[in-house]
Amino acid sequence: MRRKTILITRPAGQGAEFSRLLSAAGAEVISFPAITIAPPRRWEPVDTAIRRINSYDWLLFTSANGVTMFFARFTARGGDMRNLKGIRIGAIGPKTSAHLQALGLKVNVFPDEYRAEALAEAIGPVKGLRILLVRAQDAREILPQTLRARGAQVAVVTAYRTLKSRRLPTNLKKRLTHGGIDAVTFTSSSTVDGFMRHLTTGERRRVFRQAKAAVIGPITAATLRRYGIRPAIRAKPYTTEALAEAIVAYFS
């Protein structure tokens, strides 16, 4: 990994540990937040869900950002964690689960595969149950659709939005297109979209003829392929720690 340059596209403030792992392996790490995390345009649906929290059988989270944003609002609106007693909680991914546990909450379901489809399977029978799904705006519909098809009543609330970065610094773009970056990392589909918007089709091809695309999971990989780019490095399991290990192994 010595003398390899790795570009991290995670939101500002969320790539510190990832960067530390790569730096410890000898890489030069550059951060370009391809997205930023923002509140939803309207809090009313979340506020309504908070008022009705006792009516739900399940509370589901698909990201650590969803946990952070939802419970910040929950606290701001006078929510009491004791009101969650008896509500089962499901999470996708170890970071999401860890954020919930840090709040003193028990995670009842945590699938081995960190995808919405796996969470739907892990929950089991849901006919007649009321489920609150907390997620990002414009998230995939597979989870609520699957749960509704099985007879659940699903309320979906947007706890945050991912906004694409406004510009790619000129010096970084030049470095990317002239072979100065060895790998570009993507930890979500939104980071792929946020990064690619700054490049023309020709520039994308030029960048990834030289740089390797490193992705955290199959959904992110599929998004990357829609841009005509094949991922060279994949994490398994789908965590930033595993992605760092995969990058180190690839270049070693």
Please provide the CATH number assigned to the domain covering 5-34+165-251.
3.40.50.10090
Closest listed residue to residue 62, CA positions, set 186, 151, 158: 158
* Calpha distance 67→91 (Å, rounded): 9
Question: What pLDDT score was predicted for residue 111?
Answer: 87
Preceding amide of 111 cis, omega within 30? no
Q: Where in the chain is the domain with CATH 3.40.50.10090?
A: 5-34+165-251, 44-162
Helices 218-226, 189-196: axis angle to 10 degrees equals: 20
* Calpha distance 152→35 (Å, rounded): 33
Name residue, tokens 């059988």.
57
State the pLDDT confidence band at 45, using cuts at 50, 70 and 90.
Answer: very high
State the pLDDT confidence band at 1, using cuts at 50, 70 and 90.
Answer: low
Helices 44-51, 64-76: axis angle to 10 degrees equals: 70
Say if domain 44-162 classifies as CATH 3.20.20.70. no
In the chain, % of residues over pLDDT 70 = 100
The tens digit of pLDDT for each residue in 128-175 reads: 999 999 999 988 899 999 999 999 999 999 999 999 998 999 999 999
Q: In 13-54, where does DSSP find H-type helix?
A: 16-24, 44-51
DSSP conformation class of 176:
H
